[in-house]
């Protein structure tokens, strides 16, 4: 055990196991190096946050230039990077208003808070939000209640009221759950931590129609799927709908902490004093996010997600044909998953890590792939070669 791992175990609360057992000290593009100098191909990418890979020159330049000008200012004043980023996000999403925060959980909290005020103003005080089983919306107490995973909820009961969880991709269950207290439906366009569950093309259209029929707000959590990961700038574009409220984060900052929630004109009902954030949309992170988003759009990284993601999927399907232990390959763009017939996800991730590939296991049986949007077919070939060797070893 290295010195750094010993210190980590001594000082940190045991909130999550660092399951791969490596200490990273440097990164460049899709690669990272540990404290012993070993190189890894990183297909976790900060849980999809490092959209441009590690330490991209665009991010370095934005950090360097903005840190010489202004790092933080209160919301009592205007700052230019925040306004420029807001304009970029609003013009690219078709929504009308925005609020910046620091993490996806905060963005989802803000979206639910906004929906509750909307319910008070327009839906006779309705406050309930319906979300999906196997979803993930964050680790705050309210977002644990929104997240449809009983194992996450049980240690923290009683949970905040006002949330109902129904099966994902089940429009009948969703329709049955809507009642007089319902103000909004909160969904991931594609479930990430739940196992990269992609709904059929009709599902989100049916949800949109249900919301329109009942006068409810549709909130889409695009914290993981947004910023080009699924092959369109926003995943909802690939399903032919538009939400009333959208949350974004992770890949927006390319590795620096920034998130936001956006709303259409009708849903954007906050007034002065209704919400706030000390660090939300600070000039430093806003400048980086603006540079990241402009690069994603200029270099057509959503297109790269389609091209390389399709190639990656084909290679993974080839492994499925070769190995009967591979049950399913699924996903869209560069958000993919491989499910096994046996509970070997963690063993697979560790075996790949030993060979220089960092992967995210979703125990017991699924591996999730979230590589940077800049990866190449050659990176995919190397990853598949390592996966094949790890399957051969474990099988």
Kindly report the backbone phi and psi dihedral angles of residue 263, in degrees, each rounded to the nearest multiple of 5, phi listed first.
-145, 155
The DSSP bridge pattern shows strands 163-166 and 128-132 to be parallel
3-state secondary structure of 357: strand
Please report which helix (H) or strand (E) contains residue 247, including its range. strand 245-248
Which three-class secondary structure state does DSSP give residue 336? strand
Element (H, E) at 117: helix 104-122
Report whether 139 contacts 146 (CB < 8 A): no
C-alpha angle with apex 68: 77 to 58, nearest 5 degrees?
A: 100
- Helix (H/G/I), strand (E/B), else coil: 230: coil
Task: Tell me which residue of 372, 370, 375, 351 sits closest to 360, measured CA to CA.
Answer: 370
Please list the residues that pair with 54 across neighbouring strands. Answer: 29
* CA angle at 97 for the pair 82 and 215, rounded to the nearest 5°: 155
Output the six-digit token pair for 110.
């803000």
How many angstroms separate the CA atoms of 133 and 187, rounded? 10
Cα separation, 163 vs 178, in Å, equals: 11
| DSSP letter (8 states) at residue 234 | S
89 touches 267 (CB < 8 A): no
Between β-strands 97-101 and 366-369, what pairing exists: parallel, antiparallel or unpaired?
unpaired
Point out the residues that are catalytic: 136, 221, 250
CA distance 12 to 98: 35
Q: Which two tokens stand for residue 263?
A: 């709303």
Which H helix or E strand runs over 24? strand 24-28
Q: Where are the beta strands (DSSP E) in 325-392?
A: 326-332, 335-340, 357-358, 360-362, 366-369
Question: Which secondary-structure segment (H or E) carries 384?
Answer: helix 377-394
CA–centroid distance for 189 within its chain: 11
């Amino acid at each position: 055990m290295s010195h750094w791992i010993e210190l980590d175990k001594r000082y940190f609360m045991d909130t999550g196991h660092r399951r791969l057992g490596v200490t990273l000290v440097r990164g460049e593009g899709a690669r990272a190096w540990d404290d012993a100098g070993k190189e890894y191909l990183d297909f976790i990418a900060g849980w999809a946050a490092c959209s441009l890979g590690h330490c991209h020159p665009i991010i370095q330049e934005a950090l360097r230039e903005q840190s010489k000008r202004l790092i933080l200012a209160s919301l009592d004043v205007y700052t230019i990077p925040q306004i420029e980023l807001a304009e970029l996000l609003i013009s690219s999403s078709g929504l009308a208003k925005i609020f910046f925060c620091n993490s996806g959980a905060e963005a989802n909290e803000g979206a639910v808070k906004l929906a509750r005020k909307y319910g008070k103003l327009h839906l006779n005080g309705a406050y309930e939000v319906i979300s999906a089983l196997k979803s993930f919306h964050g680790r705050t107490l309210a977002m644990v209640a929104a997240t449809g995973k009983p194992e996450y909820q049980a240690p923290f009961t009683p949970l905040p009221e006002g949330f109902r969880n129904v099966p994902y991709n089940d429009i009948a269950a969703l329709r049955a759950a809507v009642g007089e207290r319902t103000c909004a439906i909160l969904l991931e366009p594609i479930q990430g931590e739940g196992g990269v569950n992609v709904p059929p093309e009709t599902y989100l259209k049916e949800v949109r129609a249900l919301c329109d029929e009942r006068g409810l707000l549709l909130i889409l959590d695009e914290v993981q799927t947004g910023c080009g990961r699924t092959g369109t700038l926003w995943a909802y574009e690939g399903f032919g709908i538009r939400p009333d409220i959208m949350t974004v984060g992770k890949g927006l900052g390319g590795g620096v902490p920034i998130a936001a929630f956006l709303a259409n004109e009708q849903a954007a009902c906050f007034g002065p004093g209704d919400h706030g954030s000390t660090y939300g949309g600070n000039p430093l992170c806003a400048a980086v996010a603006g540079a990241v988003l402009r690069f994603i759009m200029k270099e057509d990284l959503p297109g790269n997600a389609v091209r390389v993601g399709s190639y990656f999927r084909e290679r993974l399907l080839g492994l499925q044909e070769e190995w009967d232990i591979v049950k399913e390959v699924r996903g869209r763009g560069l958000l993919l998953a491989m499910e096994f017939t046996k509970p070997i996800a963690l063993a697979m991730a560790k075996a790949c890590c030993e060979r220089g590939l960092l992967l995210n296991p979703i125990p017991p049986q699924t591996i999730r792939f979230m590589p940077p949007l800049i990866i190449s077919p050659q990176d995919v070939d190397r990853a598949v070669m390592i996966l094949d060797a790890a399957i051969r070893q474990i099988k």
